[in-house]
Each structure stands twice: as structure tokens, then as C-alpha cells.
Chains A and B, each alone.
Chain A
């Protein structure tokens, strides 16, 4: 603990790491901003390229991209009314009307400063809460991990998709893909069909690049001719008065962001929408109505989505359970580099934790710097036509999938999953639960077996233990609640209850 500060500043005083964080943040801002490129796409492709690097360097780059990318989406939301990333959907609601009034510069300035405030608050909560959570997590039983992981997949599947059933189909598909290969406990073959190449399983990086890179690029082919609208940029750096005015609101919406981000399976996109809704309710007399360029409507989503980044790192670092698709991929990267995110990470390798917190803070500061400068070049780059962008995404995806194992098999897997992901997206299935399923499959499998073996293979005892432990009970009830509330059974039960009370 006494070395926390020392670890915190590793990247601050190492020129190479500092440069990587800066580069990552800058790249993240552009990737997040360019419609058609997403942070998940970028991080999943980058994992394969940073495969052979030192873990510190790889993490610096990825953390920067994550932070910058969440913010970058707001720029295109304001300037073009196209959210560059899902977490910027709410930003477009008031950002674009502001830009149409000729206040694009003000809008970008406020959203940048507010993103930084939200981001810093999220990091502060991460630094304070994670040690406590991980200590608490040491008391978690295998069944609790199992329930938490299921909860994460269900949350992703139910909150962002068209229906829970489709989310469950996607999540299960992911878990089954994760099963392929030799069973880690008994070395029995599972879904290998006698093919030796499948013994090590399907490379999850190939699955990831396919689902997030290739399928997204194929989807973009439908929107080849979206015209770009040019905006005039005025003064960017906001006045201190404006910042102070929105500070109380930004504190509230940041807290929403951290909380939502910390829930397994929910990330910046949901946090931003909830914060926007909150701002709408608490702002009594906005100068301009919401939806027509209210600055409160910018402050809320921008603080919340960046605060959610810090929040998402809490379950990821303390429990090994990803907060959203990006953290799922970062977990994958940590595994590759031989680190096991979970409560033991904080005890065995506290330097990794503080190093990560330090990087996030650094990325946040770089975001502020880059966010308030370089707008003119920015508008040029963002207008890159999709007809050029899409082939480049595909090229990078192919190179990325190939680079991991130097094998063309991974490239073919990636293409197959790209086509599958394309159809899934067209028909309203989320691809997020698939990747969460792949990452969490092994965790659920192992913890289930550990739990049931310790109860002498007795299901009744297993359930009895589950309902008698407060934590397991809460988790179990959350799982049941999600399922019931999203299926026809939920409203039916409510109707019956209403009839009885009447």
C-alpha cells in the first residue's frame, strides 16, 4: 500500500510509457469519433498486435484507447449528428442542435471538460472502492462467481438487445464457443470432432475481431453514402463560470456513471442514457429545452460515460468479471500476458492495479489536452469516406487475426464469425453477449464444478447453501428478477398481483 503512489506514477515518468498512453488516447479519440470505427473494434484488433509486447506497454496503449474512445464519440455526435460510439448517442440529442446554432466550439469545450471531470471521479472511485471490493471478494464462494458471471451476460443481453431471448441465445453461443477444446480439468475433448487443431479451442481474438471488426464493416456497407455536414468551430475552451455552473449536476451524473459502469455487463452507453434521463428530471428550468441544445443534456451523458470507465474497471480488476465488451477484451489481454484478474490480483500484484489507475488518470489528462486542441485537423480526418475506410478496417482485421498465431485458420474463423455477426446484427441479436460468454465460459464452468463437488454432488444442498448465504441470495434474486421482468411471465405476475390488491 505504501508503494501505491510509486506504482501509480510508473507511466508518468517513463518517457516510452508516457508516449504510449498519449498515443493511445489520441488514437482513441479519433477511433471513437470516426463513425464506423469503434473502441471495441480497435481494442480487439490491437490485442493481437501488442501480443508480443511487455504487459505494461500493451496496457498503456489499451487504457488510452479506451478512455479516448469513450470521449471521442461525442465529437462526431456534436458535429455530424452521428454518434461515433454507442456511448455518445445521448450526446447527439443536445450536442447537434447546439452545433446547428453555431455553438459547436462551446459544445465540444464543455463536453471535453465534463468528460475529464467524470473520468477523474470514476478513477477516484475505482482507487477507493477496488481495494475494499477485492477484500470482500475474497469471501466469495465459487457459486457467487458463477452467479455474477451469469448476471453479467444476462445484463448485457437484456439491456441492449431487442429481447432477452435473443440475448440468451447469443450468450449461450458464446459460452459454448468458449467450451471448445480440451477440458482444463480432465483433458477430455469437448466439441473438437476429432480435430487436433481444435484442442486449444477457437482463438477468442479471431472471434472478437470477426464479431466487432468484420461484421461492423459489413454493416457499414449499407451506409456508404451518408453525407458529411460541415460545421463552423468557434471558441473551444469553456469559461470557468460555465464549468462551475454545471459542477453540481456533473457530480450527480458522474455517480450514476460509476455505479452503472461498475455493474457487471453494463457500460458507458447505458450510463449515458440514464444520466441524460436524470438530468432531464432534475433540471427544473433549463435555459433551452432539452433536445434543442440544452447544455445540461451535454454535461450529463459526457460525465457519465467517462465515469463509467473507472467503474467498469472495478469488477474487472477485483472479480475478473468484465463490466462491458471492452473490459471483456482487456481481460482477455491480461490473460494472454499471464495475469489473472480477480481478488488475488490486488494481493499478489498490487503494482498492476495502481499502475492501471495511474494510466487511466494520465489518459484522462491527455484527453483534456487533445480534446481542446486540434479540432481543425479533426474535421478533415473524420470526413474520410467509408469507401476507403471499410477496406482498411478489413485489412487490419485480417492482419490482426493472422498475427496472433501466424495461422490462416484464425483468419478463416474470423471471417466466419464476421459473417455470423453480420446476420446477428441484421436480425437484432447483440454480439456483446457472445464475447462475454466466450470470456466467462471457463470461469462459470470451473466454479460450477468446484461448487457442486464441495457439496458432494448434491443439488439440494447446493441450493440450500445458495439461499442461506446473503450474497448468493442477492445474486440469485437479481438473476431471477432479470429473467422474470423480461419475459411474459413478469407482466402476467404483476397483473395477478394488481387484481388481488384491487
Chain B
């Protein structure tokens, strides 16, 4: 089946990358137990990676036959790649997500999530700062209530002594009941 769509910038490179990945897998699966037996632990990975190599080759050859979405040389494709495939908003947001997951452990769930929501909502939604703060606080409160308190999901604590606070609140209610 031929693909009618024109090639997006970077599509050929991605196809080649997947081919390289499949070759790497093929080499690695040969290393598991070689051609020792059909029922060896390496047989299935070898068969699968060989199939993947074959399919990836077909994709790469198919890519050669298709026209580029963007005419011009390598420079033009690179510019189109940056503009259409990884535009600034995608790069910036991915950066925020990575920063968030790195900060999750040292800062703890509440401060890290608040920062992440505040910055990313402010950046994506382009509203006023006050709006972003209100939305971040409200949604974080809702998520915290549902997942930490109802679902009892364990989340990184970090710098906020959550357990003490929850225990203190529970004590307060328990105390009130007596």
C-alpha cells in the first residue's frame, strides 16, 4: 500500500533511526543464545527483530519514493522540521515536563506540581497571572484530594511535611469528637 501523503520533514531520518534500532535489537537478540535451538530464549526476539528489520527496510525504501512536503535542500527541511514537527511550544512544554519530573523528588509533589501547573498553564493559556494561579491551585487541590486522600496514592513528599499536616488535621477532628 503506497502512502499518498507527502513526506513530513524528518520522516526519512525517523525511518532510518527505527531501522538502526531494529538492527541493534537483532544483533542483541543474536547475542542471547545465537542459533542454538528453535526453542531457545533468543529465538523469539530474533524472529521479531528480523521481521522488524524487514518492515523498517520497506518503510525506508517507501520513503525514498515519496516527495517531500517541503521542497529545497537540507537547510529548508531542518527549518521546516523545527517549525512543523518540533515547534517552540512543543519543545518548551516538553522542557517543562522534564523539569517537573526532575523536581518532583527533591521538592515534593505539591510544590513541584504547583510550579508546573502555574508555569505551563500561564504559558499555554496566555491568561492573566491571577487566573493561572487560581486555576493551578484549584485543580491541584482537586487532584490532591482525589488521588492522595481518596485513592491513597503515595506521592513524593519533599519539603512539605504532608504526613504531619494530615495527622495533625485528623487529630484535630478526633480531638473535636471527644
| A445 B90 Cβ-Cβ under 8 A | no
Q: Please determine whether A179 and B44 come into contact, CB atoms closer than 8 angstroms.
A: yes
Which residue of chain A has the shortest Cβ distance to B53 in the bound complex?
Answer: A172
Are B49's CB and A172's CB within 8 A?
A: yes
Q: How many residues of B contact A (CB 8 A)?
A: 66
Instruction: Evaluate whether A169 and B44 lie within 8 angstroms (CB atoms) in the complex, with A391-B117, A399-B153, A428-B5 already known.
Output: no
Rounded to whole Å, the gap between the CB of B1 and the closest CB of chain A is 5
**A172-B55 in contact (CB<8A):** yes
A191 within 8 A of B: yes
CB of A364 to closest CB in B, whole Å: 25
Q: Which chain A positions have C-beta within 8 A of B51?
A: 168, 172
Q: Mark A424-456, 1 if CB is under 8 A from B, else 0.
A: 001110000000000000001100110011000
Shortest distance between the CB of A19 and any CB in chain B (Å): 12
- Taking the closest CB of chain A, its distance from the CB of B2, in whole angstroms, is 8
Q: Within 8 Å of chain A (Cβ to Cβ): is B147?
A: yes
Is A168 a contact partner of B116 (Cβ separation < 8 A)? no
CB-CB nearest in chain A for B25:
A176
**Chain A residue total in the interface (Cβ 8 A):** 62
What residues of chain A lie closer than 8 Å to B3, measured between beta carbons? Answer: 162-163, 428
How distant is the Cα of A214 from the Cα of B153 in the complex, in angstroms? 20
Report whether A386 and B124 are in contact in the complex, using a CB–CB cutoff of 8 Å.
yes
Asked if A385 meets B125 with Cβ closer than 8 Å, knowing A188-B33, A448-B44, the reply is: yes
In the assembled complex, the Cα of A478 lies from the Cα of B39 at a distance in Å of 25
Residue of A185, A388, A422, A426 touching B41 (CB-CB under 8 A): A185
Is A172 in contact with B52, judged by CB distance below 8 angstroms?
yes
| B89-104 interface (Cβ within 8 A of A) | 89-90, 93-94, 97-98, 100-101, 104
Contacts of A419 in B (CB 8 A): 94
B68 within 8 Å of A by Cβ? Answer: no
A415 and B147 in contact, given A162-B5, A190-B32 (Cβ under 8 angstroms): no
Q: Does A408 contact B (CB under 8 A)?
A: yes
When C-beta atoms are compared, the residue in chain B nearest to A424 turns out to be B14
Closest to A173 in B: B52
Q: Is the interface of A mostly helix, strand, loop or mixed?
A: helix
Contact of B143 with A by CB under 8 A: yes
Contact A221/B89 with A386-B124, A399-B153, A415-B101 known, Cβ cut-off 8 Å: yes
Whether B147 contacts A49 by the Cβ 8 Å rule is yes
Specify which of B52, B98, B116, B125 is in contact with A388 (CB 8 Å cutoff): B125
Contact call B124/A186, Cβ cutoff below 8 A: no
List the A side residues contacting B44 at CB < 8 Å: 175, 179, 444-445, 448-449
Known contacts A163-B1, A221-B90, A399-B153; A408 and B104 CB within 8 A of each other = yes
From A166, A173, A403, B153 is in contact (CB under 8 Å) with: A403
Given contacts A165-B62, A403-B153, A408-B104, contact A395 B116 (CB under 8 A): yes
Q: What chain A residues lie within 8 Å of B8 (beta carbons)?
A: 426-427
Q: Nearest chain B CB to A44's CB is how many angstroms away?
A: 15
- Asked whether A283 is an interface residue with its Cβ less than 8 Å from the other chain, the reply is no
* B18 on the A face (CB < 8 A): yes
A138 to chain B, nearest CB (A): 24
Q: List 15 A-B contacts (CB under 8 A).
A: A49-B151, A52-B152, A165-B56, A166-B55, A172-B22, A172-B52, A176-B25, A176-B49, A188-B33, A190-B41, A191-B25, A224-B89, A388-B124, A391-B124, A403-B154
Question: Given A191-B45, A390-B93, 12 other A-B contacts at CB below 8 A?
Answer: A162-B3, A163-B59, A169-B55, A173-B52, A191-B28, A221-B89, A388-B125, A392-B139, A394-B120, A398-B101, A457-B38, A487-B1
